[in-house]
Structure 1
Amino acid sequence: MLHPLRAVARVRLTRAELALIAVTALWGATFLIVHLAMSHSGPLFFVGVRFVVAGLLSVLIFWRRLRALSWAEIGAGSAIGVTIFLGYGLQTAGLQSINSSTSAFITALYVPLVPLLQWVFLRRAPRRMVLVGVALAFVGLLVLAGPDALRFGLGEGEVLTLLSTIAIAGEIILIGAFARKIDVGRVTVVQLLVGGGLSLLMMPVTGEAVPAFSWWWLLPAVGLGIASCVIQLTMNWAQRTVSPTKATVIYAGEPVWGGIVGAAAGDPFTVGIVVGAGLIVSGVVVSEIRPEKPAKVEPDDGAGDDAHEVPARSRTTSL
C-alpha cells in the first residue's frame, strides 16, 4: 500500500549557524564604538590598527601552526585580506561624501549579490527557501536604510560604496570557496595582517595622517582588534558547512544588533527599525525551512508489507 506524501517544514539551526549569529551580534555592537572612535582617528589608520592587532593576536594563538604555512594558504588568506581592506576602506571613503542611510542602502546590495556570485563561481544553486530568506533580508535592510537612502545620484561616494559592496560579497564567497581546503587558523592570520597592512599602506596615498595619541582611538582599536580576530576565525570555521548565501542572510542581521545597541545608548528605536529587523529575522528563519518528504514505497512484490517499506527520512539539501 502506498502512503501519501507529506511535506513537513522544520527549522533547525546548526552550531555553525548559531556561531555566525553570535558573531553578527558582536559585529553589530561595534558600530557605536567605531562611530565614537572616528572623532579621534582617521578611518584607514583605525581600520589598519584594528586588523593588525587582530592579526598579531591570531599569531599568538596559532604560532605553532604557522610552521606549516603553505603558499596556497598565503594566497587564500591574501585574497580574503584584500576584500576585507577594500570592503572597509571603500565604504569608509564613500561615507565622506554621502550620508549613512545612502551608504546602508547601497551596501545592502551585497545580500542579493552573494547568491548570484555563488551560483556563477561556485556552481552552487541555493535552495528555494534560502532565496526567499535572502529576499526578506534584503527588503528588511532597505526598510532600515529609510526613505532618505533612495535620494542619491551616481557620484564618487556612491561609486566607492558600490565597489565596497562587491568586495564584501567577494569576501563571503572566497571564505566559502576556501573554507574546506585550508587550515582555518593559518588563513585567519594571513587575511587579518593583509587587511590591516593594506589599510596602513594606503594612508600616504589618500593623504591621511597618523592621529595624535589618544586613548579614545587606542582602546577601541585594540578591543575591536580582539573582536575582529574572533569574528574572522568564526566565519572561516563556520562557512565550512554554511553556504555563502545562507551566511549572508545571517550577516544581514548586523544592523539589527547595531540598532539594539544604539537604542540602549539612547538612540531612537523607530517603527522602521522594528519592521526592518522583523523582516531580517524572518529571512533567517525562512532560510532554515527544509521540506521533508517520506521516501517512496516500492510496490508489494509478495515478500510482505514490511519488506520493502522505506522509513521516512529527512531530505535536507546541503548548500
Structure 2
Amino acid sequence: MRSTSVRADVLCLITALIWGFAFVAQRLGMDHIGPMAFNGIRFALGAAALTPLALRSMRYPPPAPFLAGAKDGFPWLGGLLAGAMLFTGATLQQVGLQYTTAGKAGFITGLYVVLVPLLGLFFGQRAARGDLVGAVAAAVGLYFLSVTEDFTLAPGDGLELIGAFFWAGHVLLIGWLSPRTRALPLALAQYAVCSALSLVCALLFEDTTLAGIRGAAWPILYGGLLSVGLAYTLQVVAQRDANPTHAAILLSFETVFAAVGGAMFLDESLGARGLFGCCLMFGGMLASQLWPKAPVRPGA
C-alpha cells in the first residue's frame, strides 16, 4: 500500500513538471496558429497516442458498470462531461496566454488548488480553517501578481482566473469519476471531446494555415504527446491511488515549474511585486492542503 502511494505521488510530481513547462510551449505555439487550433490539434494528438492503451484496457471490467453509459462499457457520459470541462478551462487558459506571461498564467491557474475545497461548499462540504487562510493568502497574492498600481487587471490574467474555476471543477469531476470507471478510456474520451470542440471553434473563428501548423510543430508535439497524452493520463491514473492532499500539493508545483520555464526559455521576469504575489499565492496553496482539517464551527 505504501509503495502504491509513493508511486502515485511521483506520478503527480511528474505531471506538474510537464504541465508547468507546457505553458512555454503553449505561448510559443501561438506565434504561428490561433489558440483554438493549437488546442484542437494537441488534444487530437493526445487522444491518438492514448488510443491503443485505452482500447486494450477495455478488456477488463470497469469498477462501476452503471457509469459506463453504454453496453460496450465505454465511459461516454463521463468523457463528455470531463471533456466539456476540459475544453472550457483549456480555452480560457490558451486565449489568456496571448495577453499574459507563462509564469503569471501558471500561478493564477494554480489557484484551483485553493478553489477545489471552496467549491466543495456547494456540495455540502464544510471549509476548514486552512482552506480559508489559503483562500485569503491566494487572493492577496493574486492582487500583487496581477493588479497594477493603477488598479487594473490585465485581460489575460482575468481569463486565467476564470479558467482556474473550471480547472478546479475538472479536478473534482476526475476525482469522482476515476475510481468509478476505466481510467484510460475516460482520458481518451475527454481528449476527443475537447479536441472536437476546439477544432470546430478554430474553423469558425480562426484562419489556420498548413504553414502555421508546421511552424508550431514542436510546441504542438510537446503539448499533444507530453502535456495531454502523458500528463493528463498520469493525473487520471494517479488520482485513483493518491492521497487527495498529496495530489493537490504536488500538482500545485505546476506553478513553480511554469515560472521557471518562462524565465529559462522566454526571458520573463515577474518583478519584485509579482514575486511577492507568487510567494503569497503558493503559500496559500500549501496552507489550504497542509493545515489541519478540523472544520470551522459556526461562531468560531
TM-score interval w.r.t. the shorter chain? 0.7 to 0.9
How far apart, in 1, do the equivalents of 2:283 and 2:223 lie?
29
The whole-number CA distance in structure 2 between the counterparts of 1:250 and 1:159 is 25
Query: In structure 1, what is the Cα distance between the partners aligned to 2:142 and 2:157?
Result: 17
Q: Does 1:83 align with 2:88?
A: no
**CA 289–112 in structure 1, closer or farther in 2 if over 3 Å, else same:** closer
Give me the whole-angstrom Cα distance separating, in 1, the residues matched to 2:158 and 2:282: 29
Counterpart residue number, 2:117: 115
Give the Å deviation of 1:316. Answer: 10
Counterpart of 1:229 in structure 2 is 229
Alignment partner, residue 130 of structure 2:
129
Pairing of 1:127-276 with structure 2 (within 5 A): 127-145=128-146, 147=148, 150-152=151-153, 163-212=162-211, 214-227=213-226, 228-240=228-240, 241-243=242-244, 250-265=250-265, 266-268=267-269, 270-276=271-277
Pair 163,279 (structure 1): closer, same or farther in 2 beyond 3 Å: closer
| Per-residue Cα deviation, 1:263-303 (whole angstroms, up to 9, x for no partner) | 22333363345434433443454445466xxxxxxxxxxxx
Aligned AA (1:197): A
Q: How many residues in Structure 1 have an aligned counterpart in Structure 2?
A: 275
RMSD: 3.7
Relative to structure 1, the CA distance from residue 238 to residue 28 in structure 2 (aligned partners, 3 Å threshold; closer, same or farther) is same
Report the Cα distance in structure 2 between the residues aligned to 1:18 and 1:282, rounded to whole angstroms.
Answer: 21
Note closer, same or farther for the CA distance 1:62–1:15 as it changes in structure 2 (3 Å cut).
Answer: same
Relative to the length of structure 1, the TM-score reads 0.70
2 CA distance for matches of 1:134 and 1:115?
10
Structure 1 residues 17, 278: closer, same or farther in 2, change over 3 A? farther
SS of the residue 2:17 aligns to: helix
Segments of structure 1 that go 5 or more residues without pairing to the other structure are 1-12, 292-314
Q: Which has the higher helix share?
A: 2
Whether the 8 Å contact between 1:133 and 1:249 is mirrored in structure 2 is: no
Tell me the secondary structure at the aligned position of residue 179 of structure 1: helix
Identical amino acids, percent of aligned pairs: 28
| Structure 2 unmatched runs, 5+ | 63-67, 296-300
Alpha-carbon shift at residue 86 of structure 1 (Å): 1.1
For the residues of structure 2 that align with 1:274 and 1:94, how far apart are their CA atoms?
20
